Amino acid sequence: MGRLIGIFIFLAGAGLTYYGFTMLDREPPEPELPAHLEGVIIESPPTVLPAFSLLDQNGNEFDNDSLEGKWSFLFFGYTNCPDVCPTSMTVMAGLNKKQDLKDFNYIFATVDPKRDTVAQIKDFVSFFNPGFIGLTGEKVEIDKFREPLGIIYDFEGDTSSEDYVVTHFAAIYLLDPRGRMRAYVLPPHDVPRVYEAMKFIYEYYENQ
């Protein structure tokens, strides 16, 4: 009996970790979205990100700890993108104008680090909002960050030159204050739809 109690105490102390969670997390039931909000995917339990290390638009390290304490909107793309990325970043700028979303992080992460230097990233995100965060870094670190989120991308054209296109998954993600992915919205994006969906999800989990 003593041995069994000892094993139980050990497991309880370890938290019975399972898919990045412990029993103590007590994940609430997945909320039921309004029927008209199509293309909105909730992750329950949320996706836990592995350790990664990138550079922000000021050349400072940005890692898992940088996501702690605030809800975050996240979009992956590249600064030479002719249409989808500017459109989604404009939507992010519109979300930032909502009073109840002003305290969120707004993050753009490149999938094209060859061309997207720190300086290039800074110019790009500053165009939409000087307070936005832009991320670049080594390809291996970008892949650590994007793979668990289901971000896929491919290069079209001669990548030995500067003239090529990147095709990529173009969802807007919502990360919780523990840096876990809670939901994403598929394109096409517009401010009213993304705002309604993200506000619904954010308020649901904030009130649990």
> What is the pLDDT, as a whole number, of residue 13?
42
- Is residue 6's pLDDT more than 80? no
Average pLDDT in the 96-100 region? 95
> What is the pLDDT, as a whole number, of residue 14?
42
- DSSP assignment of 142-166: HHHHHGGGT--EEEEE-TTSS-EEE
> What is the pLDDT, as a whole number, of residue 159?
81
- Write the pLDDT tens digit of every residue in 9-35: 333 444 444 344 444 568 899 999 998
Q: E strand or H helix at 84, and its extent? A: helix 84-96
> For the chain, first and last CA: distance in Å?
37
> What is the pLDDT, as a whole number, of residue 25?
65
> What is the pLDDT, as a whole number, of residue 161?
81
- Write the pLDDT tens digit of every residue in 167-193: 999 999 999 999 999 999 999 999 999
Average pLDDT in the 65-86 region? 96
pLDDT band at 160 (very low <50, low <70, confident <90, very high): confident
**Phi, psi of 47, rounded to the nearest 5 degrees:** -80, 125
The CA distance from 110 to 136, in Å, is: 6
Domains of the chain from N-terminus onward: 31-206 (3.40.30.10)
